[in-house]
């Protein structure tokens, strides 16, 4: 009896309220409202420019991060194995030749890599991780700040708190990426070699696991970026849209790169970093569009918490504007 009474007093969810509010409105009109609001948000908040900013800082964080990771391998060579270390070193030099000339690799990259691997340079490791943490968390800050503004809740979380939260999210993403990314990159066949006897299960569950993990990560990013708490599952639509846009964008980008960047091109030695930057930019754009979708859903049928927070933000802005006018009078 008590449980039934508690359920009766529980606040209805967003989707239940949506069915009540738009009971007599066609689904086509509701879809048009969501699409229009999403496009307006993307144009108003310069999503393409912010995606380029995030992509720049992500790309800036990759070399020092890799340098720090490579330097750390010098301390665990007895565990990893010398053959593995030499293989990684060879791959780094081979990848460098796609960007630099042979002279640049031999004069700059090779001595640095040899020094880091064999000399155990804690200064380079520390500096690399510090630069990577700063630039990587700066990219996350772009997402967090933009998502907050899209919801109309700017000012509810201070600058310092936002920056610290971005740093924590970036560190968590690094830890999760270090654990999950190798499994994603090597593919199901390599997993079969590591864990024999589960071939059928791995091939069936591999890509569903990757998709679910991606949706869960994006949903969590959207969820924690909003300074007002709401049910976690309400941010799933934006994550699904972002993942779909990322797949389509990567497909189109691959076609473009095959014709415009790879092979004989005006980009020359810059082709590889340009391709990486474009791919990161497409990924950042997809994440921000997914955030715009969630913000549009919240504006069309807002949750009780975000609606109250927006009203409070508007009142605070009006009070601040009135105070400025009073001082000027």
Would you list the DSSP string of 57-73?
Answer: HHHHHHHHHHHHHHHHH
- Does 67 fall in a domain? yes
**Mean pLDDT to the nearest integer, 258-279:** 68
Q: Kindly report the pTM of this predicted structure.
A: 0.76
Other CB atoms closer than 10 Å to residue 104's CB: what's the count? 14
- Does 186 fall in a domain? yes
Q: What tens digit of pLDDT does each residue of 210-251 get?
A: 788 889 989 999 999 988 888 888 889 999 999 999 989 888
**Mean pLDDT to the nearest integer, 131-136:** 84
**Integer angstrom CA distances of residue 115 from 89, 120, 140, 270, 307:** 11, 7, 32, 26, 57
- Does 245 fall in a domain? yes
Task: Give yes or no for a contact between 292 and 150, defined as CB atoms under 8 angstroms apart.
Answer: yes
- Does 63 fall in a domain? yes
- Does 174 fall in a domain? yes
- The gap from C-alpha 177 to its chain's centroid, in whole angstroms, comes to 11
Helices (H) and strands (E) in the chain, counts: 14, 0
Task: Give yes or no for a contact between 182 and 260, defined as CB atoms under 8 angstroms apart.
Answer: no
- Does 15 fall in a domain? no
- Does 265 fall in a domain? yes
Cα–Cα distance, 304 to 274 (Å, whole number): 44
Q: What tens digit of pLDDT does each residue of 66-96 get?
A: 766 666 666 655 555 666 667 667 777 776 6
Structural domain including 220 reads 27-75+120-328
Buried b (16+ CB within 10 A) or exposed e, 296-321: bbbbbbbbeebeebbeebeeeeeeee
- Does 295 fall in a domain? yes
Lookup result for tokens 């189109």: 252
Other CB atoms closer than 10 Å to residue 240's CB: what's the count? 16
**Number of domains within the chain:** 1
Tokens of 16: 């239940």
Reduced to 3 states (helix: H, G, I; strand: E, B; else coil), residue 222 is helix
| pLDDT at residue 8, as a whole number | 43
Lookup result for tokens 């004989």: 264
């Amino acid at each position: 009896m008590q449980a039934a009474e508690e359920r009766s007093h529980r606040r209805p969810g967003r989707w239940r309220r949506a069915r009540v509010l738009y009971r007599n409105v066609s689904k086509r009109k509701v879809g048009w409202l969501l699409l229009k609001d999403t496009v307006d948000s993307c144009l108003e908040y310069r999503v393409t420019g912010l995606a380029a900013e995030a992509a720049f800082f992500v790309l800036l964080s990759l070399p020092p991060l890799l340098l720090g990771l490579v330097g750390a391998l010098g301390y665990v060579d007895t565990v990893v194995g010398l053959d593995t270390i030499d293989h990684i070193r060879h791959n780094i030099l081979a990848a460098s030749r796609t960007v630099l000339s042979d002279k640049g690799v031999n004069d700059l990259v090779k001595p640095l890599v040899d020094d880091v691997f064999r000399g155990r340079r804690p200064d380079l490791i520390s500096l690399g991780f510090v630069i990577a943490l700063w630039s990587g968390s700066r990219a996350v800050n772009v997402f967090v700040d933009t998502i907050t503004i899209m919801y109309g809740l700017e000012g509810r979380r201070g600058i310092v708190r936002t920056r610290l939260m971005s740093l924590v999210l970036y560190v968590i993403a690094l830890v999760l990426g270090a654990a999950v990314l190798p499994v994603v990159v090597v593919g199901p066949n390599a997993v079969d070699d590591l864990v024999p006897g589960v071939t059928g299960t791995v091939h069936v569950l591999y890509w569903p696991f990757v998709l679910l993990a991606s949706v869960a990560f994006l949903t969590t990013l959207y969820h924690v970026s909003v300074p007002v708490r709401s049910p976690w599952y309400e941010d799933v639509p934006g994550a699904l849209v972002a993942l779909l846009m990322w797949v389509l964008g990567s497909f189109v980008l691959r076609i473009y790169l095959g014709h415009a960047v790879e092979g004989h091109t005006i980009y020359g030695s810059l082709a590889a970093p340009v391709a990486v930057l474009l791919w990161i930019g497409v990924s950042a754009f997809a994440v921000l569009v997914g955030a715009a979708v969630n913000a549009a859903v919240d504006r069309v049928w807002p949750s009780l918490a975000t609606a109250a927070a927006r009203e409070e933000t508007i009142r605070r802005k009006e009070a601040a504007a009135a105070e400025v006018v009073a001082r000027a009078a």
